[in-house]
Amino acid sequence: MSKRSLIYAANWKMNHGPTAARDFLARFLQVTSPAADRQLWFFPPAVSIAAARDAAAGRDDVVVGAQNVHWEPKGAFTGELSIPLVMEAGARAVLIGHSERRHLFGETDEQVGRKLAAAIKSGLTPMVCVGETLAEREGGRTEQVVTRQVAALLDRIGPADWERVVLAYEPVWAIGTGKNATPDDAAQVHGLIRFELGRRGVTGRVPILYGGSVNQGNVLALLAREEVDGVLVGGASLEPDGWAELVGLGA
């Protein structure tokens, strides 16, 4: 039986300028061989997309993406980046609706939906994040919140478009806190998302990653659940040897 394909995604947030991104990838790729059943995604800061793309040239298992984009293809939006701009720099993917965008910058379900639709239209692969806050979890509203976030996506694109979408379930309380969801928590929410997609006519299997304090100590237990198709990682992805070790653990 062939192994299922996994995505290991590094969200570098506000770390690694062009020089550091180049150095990281030179080292990381030296110690990480391509594997048919593993994709390595990197979301560097926008200023480092071109450097990362160049450093990973020739490695088809590597995908470089932007951490955010605006939904309009052009216009007077000072400080924003359009999809054509990040694609020209070398992005093939984009992170949409990360919880830091939603909660620190006030991004709404509606804006997340617009960004998803724009990415699908332009050929950029979207990785859309959903997840509940601690107050929502403790208030027993995880299911309701995640279903609402997924519904806002389903409203924007057609069932066939989902072939090109990747989702990431990231409980907000687990991001950067050292508190990860248990494999059971993750599997349960992934199952809920799959149910919602199926109910709305999405027939293919949409990859769903787990994110939030993933590290070398917990990654295998999370990936052991067949509902989890990979991991989206911040802190533990910032150093090339440690990240290479983590992505090699399941090999």
**Which residues have a catalytic role annotated?**
98, 170
Q: What torsion, rounded to 10 degrees, do the Cα atoms 144, 146, 148, 150 define?
A: -150
Query: Can you read off the two tokens belonging to residue 242?
Result: 């440690």
Least spacing, CB of residue 43 vs ligand PGA, in Å: 8
Task: Write down the H helix ranges in 7-98.
Answer: 18-30, 49-55, 83-89
d(CA 55, CA 24): 9
**For residue 16, what is the DSSP state?**
-
Name the residue nearer to ligand PGA (CB basis): 176 or 191: 176
Query: Can you read off the two tokens belonging to residue 20?
Result: 């550091």
Coil, helix or strand at residue 62: strand
How many angstroms separate the Cα of 167 from the Cα of each of 58, 210, 214?
A: 26, 9, 16
For the residues of 118-174, what is the DSSP string, one character each? HHHHHTPEEEEEE---HHHHHTT-HHHHHHHHHHHHHTTS-GGGGGG-EEEE--GGG
Name the residue nearer to ligand PGA (CB basis): 202 or 230: 230
Least spacing, CB of residue 209 vs ligand PGA, in Å: 9
Query: Can you read off the two tokens belonging to residue 22?
Result: 């180049």
The binding site for ligand PGA (CB under 6 A) comprises 11, 170, 175-176, 211-214, 232-236
Least spacing, CB of residue 95 vs ligand PGA, in Å: 8
Name the residue nearer to ligand PGA (CB basis): 11 or 147: 11
Least spacing, CB of residue 169 vs ligand PGA, in Å: 11
Coil, helix or strand at residue 251: coil
Name the residue nearer to ligand PGA (CB basis): 42 or 202: 42
Name the residue nearer to ligand PGA (CB basis): 24 or 202: 24
Least spacing, CB of residue 153 vs ligand PGA, in Å: 18
Query: Can you read off the two tokens belonging to residue 120?
Result: 């699908």
